[in-house]
Amino acid sequence: MYIFFWAFSLLIQACQGTDRPIGETGAPSGTTQAVPANAAQPGAGVDYLLGKFDPAVHPDFVKVGKPYTDRPGMMLRKESFEAFKKMWEAAQKEDISLKIISSTRNFGQQKNIWEGKWERFAKSAPLPKDRALKILEFSSMPGSSRHHWGSDIDLNDLNNATFETGGKYRKVYEWLNEHAHEYGFCQPYTAGRTQGYHEEKWHWSYSPLSKPFLEEYRKTITDNDIKGFKGAELAAEIGIVQYYVAGINENCK
């Protein structure tokens, strides 16, 4: 029986096309490291992680409509949306209103945002690297945004001050800080980090999905894969994967 399971495990491993250690279920001595529980699910793939797909025709995505958002065309992974709906209901019971103002954005949509800012900042930051770093305060290079993954959302307003003392959404942020983790959400871009994007009190991530996606991203994608838009040649020099994709709140890793 034991031999059977070992052989079966090896067969599964071969089918997945991975050389990852198969853990304690009969692995030959020397490869006894267990696969972590949150190991990347096989199949997300490089194109998915780079946002090179259309969520509108992807089988794992669903439309997000009212009352969760007022904007048309919003899509999320099913799992993220189900978790969000539970969080929304709980918040609503305490008179806290959560509104999704941005959800999944694919490579093309992120490219529009990036290149729009690339034009707008041309005068104030004529040197390409300065300009890229300015945009990177709050916006990702196409191919490196967590919004590609269907796990991340922006809530209520793209302005930190509105979530702070005296701001319209102060209570929203306090509630999220206290309760979002109960529904699987974390804030990737917190204050006090030493690298990556500035603080974003509006950006929340469904970590049961985004943790394995991040893990897979760091294993399979390098700065050289981030290309196809103005300023892309700066990705390696700036260190997009190391400092921006991976430069997040430790609670989201």
Residue 22 or 144 with smaller CB distance to Zn ion: 144
Smallest distance from the beta carbon of 161 to Zn ion, in angstroms? 17
- 81: three-class secondary structure by DSSP: helix
Residue 154 or 199 with smaller CB distance to Zn ion: 154
Residue 187 or 234 with smaller CB distance to Zn ion: 187
Q: Can you read off the two tokens belonging to residue 129?
A: 């690297």
CA 247 vs. chain centroid, Å, equals 12
Burial 13-37 (b: 16+ CB within 10 A, else e): eeeeeeeeebeeeebeeeeeeeeee
Q: Is 89 exposed, middle or buried (0-12, 13-18, 19+ CB in 10 A)?
A: exposed
Which residues contribute to the site for Zn ion (CB under 5 A)? 154, 203
Smallest distance from the beta carbon of 202 to Zn ion, in angstroms? 7
Smallest distance from the beta carbon of 154 to Zn ion, in angstroms? 4
Smallest distance from the beta carbon of 203 to Zn ion, in angstroms? 4
Residue 154 or 225 with smaller CB distance to Zn ion: 154
Residue 131 or 203 with smaller CB distance to Zn ion: 203
Residue 117 or 203 with smaller CB distance to Zn ion: 203
Specify whether the CB–CB gap between 153 and 202 falls below 8 A.
no
Smallest distance from the beta carbon of 32 to Zn ion, in angstroms? 40
The rounded distance, in Å, linking the Cα atoms of 220 and 251 is 22
Residue 22 or 240 with smaller CB distance to Zn ion: 240
Where do we find the tokens 């929304």? 88
What residue number has its CB nearest to Zn ion?
203
Q: For residue 67, what are the contacts with CB-CB under 8 A and spacing of at least 6?
A: 88
The rounded distance, in Å, linking the Cα atoms of 182 and 160 is 23
DSSP label at residue 126: -
Look at the alpha carbons of 19, 252, 188, 168 in this order and tell me if their dihedral is positive or negative. Answer: positive
Spatial CA neighbour of 221 closest among 204, 196, 246: 246
Smallest distance from the beta carbon of 183 to Zn ion, in angstroms? 18
Smallest distance from the beta carbon of 152 to Zn ion, in angstroms? 6
